[in-house]
Structure 1
Amino acid sequence: MKRALITGVTGQDGLYLSELLLSKGYEVYGLVRGQNNPKLALLEQTVPGVKVLTGDLMDMSSLLRALNVAQPDEVYNLGAISFVAYSWENAHLTSDVTGKGVLNLLEAIRLYAGDDIRKVRFYQASSSEMFGKVQEVPQRESTLLWPRSPYGVAKVYGHYMTINYRESYGMHASSGILFNHESPRRGPEFVTRKVSQAVARISLGLQENISLGNLDAKRDWGFAGDYVEAMWRMLQQEEGDDYVVATGETHSIRELLDVAFAHVGIEDWSSLVLQDPRFMRPAEVELLIGDPAKAFDKLGWKPQVGFEQLVRMMVDNDLAEQRALAGL
């Protein structure tokens, strides 16, 4: 039986990855920050097979303790402060957790593994936000990184540190440069879930409108449940490497709104959506679209859920959730 340790296990990706690994017969350990973590109940309810360990990416001793307990064959680092807008409000903390946290975990694995450095395979959750002010369309593994947010900068640090440990110590370390991936488990602060939740509430008469930022920003959106499969496949390769994980298609916020509102029978949403300067980024990332050819070819991975199917899935989930909350 293989053993895996997942940081950020209570997040969207952590929940889907835990389910995937458990279905493959893994013993799964999840690192949770703080004993009173508000998301712990969700983890225990959604994926009860995960064994919970407490720890913090900023505390090296807690990472070493977790490694000694879990004795993992694979470590998936999904832990981060991952909301881009918040990273401007607290750039220092974002840099520490999302950037230095990667170094702490890599170093903890190196110390834990000792001379047998390749006994632990490492996955780093890199991000399309590293491309920022895009220098090439579509973006691939070799595209110059030009981050446009403290979050993106921190992710670049973690990405290059992962490469450094692979090249310096021979560690089996891979980075998945994941483009936007969404699901009904996405946090409500992210634009896709903010839209699906608002559309559900508007259609049920529980909300009048929704305030958003730049409606013309374009993203390459996929389903998180598909993307965790690519993470797992990376750690099954003979050598560590970096892979863009994306659909290769791009859609604007306007298209997201079109599909979501149409699904509840609203064709003209123009009076229901307000643009608010508060939701504009100081430095906007206008267009992200990935080239997943390497992941398709070397990992044998392809996304299964398309954009419109994903949006409808999220709206349906929020319709059911909002009906239950409102007692409808």
Structure 2
Amino acid sequence: MTKRALITGITGQDGSYLAEFLLAKGYEVHGLIRRASTFNTTRIDHLYVDPHESEAKLFLHYGDITDGSRLVTLLAQVRPDEVYHLAAQSHVRVSFDEPEYTGDTTGLGTIRLLEAIRMIGLQCRFYQASSSEMFGAAAPPQNEETPFYPRSPYGAAKVYSYWVARNYREAYGLFAVNGILFNHESPRRGETFVTRKITRSVARIKAGLETELYLGNLDAVRDWGYAPEFVEAMWLMLQQDDPRDYVVATGSAYSVRDFVQFAFDHASLDWEKHVRFDERYLRPTEVDALIGDSSVAKSALGWQAEVHTPDLARIMVDADLKALETEGSPWVHRAWAHD
């Protein structure tokens, strides 16, 4: 029997890789997308199959994580076996500028979805996209037992979502898991996130289109992994006999300065000639070091990271260099079928 999955945030980096992964396993995949006046499905356009054809396995539905009644209606209609909740306002620096919106989407959006599942009595498995930002100022390495100490509205909203997922697991017997994912990147990362900002700028400097890159805190240390590997961990969590929470990370530590050097070196450029400091990119409260201990995921799920930061930087630079070669080519947009 074909399994059915619902992905909120399907048009994002993780959502697109997860959709690919599940489709390859034979799932019927449904995605929640917000209505927009411009095309916002670029990351998943290549997965499109005409929904009138018998082999169609990907279906998109208009909705918003702030609209509880729509979530009830959609879940009752789709009846998914697995729900992957990835939708959020996910930019940490932006959460300081839009704290209320971040709380409404990243925090309350989760309880709206959980309550919709409870209200209709849906028997499904639920994945909550938790974040290493919940640890914030806690000393590394961080694991499942590390106390949370968020340092941003985004991190605080994710802590709320973590605890309501656990509460619904304990109060209502829902198979709900928290995947506490540390930073994970790819060529599909949004251009305002620091890793993609760096690799895109490297490609443009190499091509002579830019000369300078402005960044904030170069000393922040992160545990960067590869997004396609991390979505497999999400799926593995929902295949276990019992629900629990898992840290997913590479276990390696590199500074933003390290990532900059890896990226510029790969393009045979001297980063110190091009990188400039701009205090506007500093957070009001900084997170110094996030380094994950994913030994539980390794032992229980059989999962471990293969791609580490130096390789990740090279993968992303190569993708941005290749993208520049085709930049300016007209986009061909398909007409998606929505309900």
Structure 2 match to 1:89: 97
CA distance in 1, matches of 2:290, 2:38: 33
Residue deviations 1:160-190 (CA, integer Å, cap 9, x gap): 0000000111100000000000000000000
Q: For 1:137-286, what aligned pairs fall within 5 Å after superposition?
A: 137-266=140-269, 268-286=270-288
- Preserved contact between residue 111 and residue 164 of structure 2 (Cα < 8 Å): yes
Matched, 1:26 2:27: yes
**Aligned AA for 2:40?**
K
Question: Cα distance, 1:304 vs. partner?
Answer: 2.2
TM-score (norm 1): 0.95
Alignment CA distance shift 1:257-1:42 (3 Å): closer
What secondary structure sits across from 2:291 in the alignment?
coil
Structure 1 match to 2:64: 56
What secondary structure sits across from 1:138 in the alignment?
coil
Structure 2 match to 1:38: 39
Structure 2 match to 1:131: 135
CA distance in 2, matches of 1:122, 1:283: 32
Match of 1:72 among 68, 74, 80: 80
State, as a whole percentage, how many aligned pairs show the same letter.
51
Q: For 1:287-302, what aligned pairs fall within 5 Å after superposition?
A: 287-302=289-304
Question: Cα distance, 1:47 vs. partner?
Answer: 5.1
What secondary structure sits across from 1:270 in the alignment?
helix
Runs of 4+ in 1 over 4 A off after TM superposition: 46-49
**Aligned AA for 1:311?**
A
Question: Cα distance, 1:37 vs. partner?
Answer: 5.8
What stretches of structure 1 of length at least 5 have no aligned partner?
Answer: none
- Preserved contact between residue 18 and residue 47 of structure 1 (Cα < 8 Å): no
What stretches of structure 2 of length at least 5 have no aligned partner?
Answer: 50-56, 330-339
**Aligned AA for 1:93?**
Y
CA distance in 1, matches of 2:105, 2:125: 21
Match of 1:311 among 310, 313, 317: 313
Structure 1 match to 2:7: 6
- Preserved contact between residue 124 and residue 175 of structure 1 (Cα < 8 Å): yes
RMSD between aligned residues: 1.3
- Preserved contact between residue 252 and residue 308 of structure 2 (Cα < 8 Å): no
TM-score (norm 2): 0.92
What secondary structure sits across from 2:327 in the alignment?
helix
Question: Cα distance, 1:43 vs. partner?
Answer: 2.4
What secondary structure sits across from 2:31 in the alignment?
strand
Question: Cα distance, 1:207 vs. partner?
Answer: 0.3
Alignment CA distance shift 1:201-1:138 (3 Å): same
Question: Cα distance, 1:38 vs. partner?
Answer: 3.1
Residue deviations 1:56-107 (CA, integer Å, cap 9, x gap): 1111111112112221000000000001111011100000000000000000
- Preserved contact between residue 35 and residue 54 of structure 1 (Cα < 8 Å): no
Question: Cα distance, 1:302 vs. partner?
Answer: 1.1
Residue deviations 1:251-287 (CA, integer Å, cap 9, x gap): 0011101110111112x32121000000011000010
**Aligned AA for 2:318?**
D
**Aligned AA for 1:13?**
D
Question: Cα distance, 1:308 vs. partner?
Answer: 1.4
CA distance in 2, matches of 1:226, 1:325: 28
What secondary structure sits across from 2:169 in the alignment?
helix
What secondary structure sits across from 1:20 in the alignment?
helix
